[in-house]
Amino acid sequence: MEEYFRKVGMPEDTKFMLSLDNCNSHSCQFELQLGNICVLYLPSNVALLIQPMDQGVVQNMKCYYRRDFLLKLVNDEGIVTDFKRTRIVRESVFSVACAWNSVKAKLCAKPEGDCDQR
């Protein structure tokens, strides 16, 4: 961060706080402070509340993507191997974009349809 501060022309005494969740790789046994940089460890379960990707956003998007993929597979006239071979990257990227746009701003754990990952 100190290097970044210098690069963007911020004063040398600019303070910076890094907040870390309670991941096992983040050792909470000591308080880390280096110059104007300090580390704040979040209490347990806080990351789930403040990080959108921990609130089921990614799983929700994957469910929409899988639903779209399976609908196209079922409606395809050919055999499965031909479908997989002819599906081009552009279509997959478009499906990901559509799945992302289907994710609601306020979402529950799963989309309207049930997405079972078994």
pTM for this predicted structure = 0.46
Q: Each residue of 20-70: pLDDT tens digit?
A: 776 666 565 556 667 777 887 777 777 667 666 666 777 888 899 999 988
Dihedral, CA atoms, 61, 117, 94, 57, nearest 10 degrees?
A: 10
Domain ranges of the chain: 2-50, 53-102
pLDDT for 65-97, tens place per residue?
Answer: 999 988 888 888 878 778 877 777 888 888 989
Token duo for residue 106: 């306020």
Calculate the alpha carbon distances from 108 to 34, 44, 58, 64, 114 in Å: 40, 21, 12, 13, 12
Output helix, strand, coil percentages for the chain, rounded to the nearest 5: 45, 10, 40
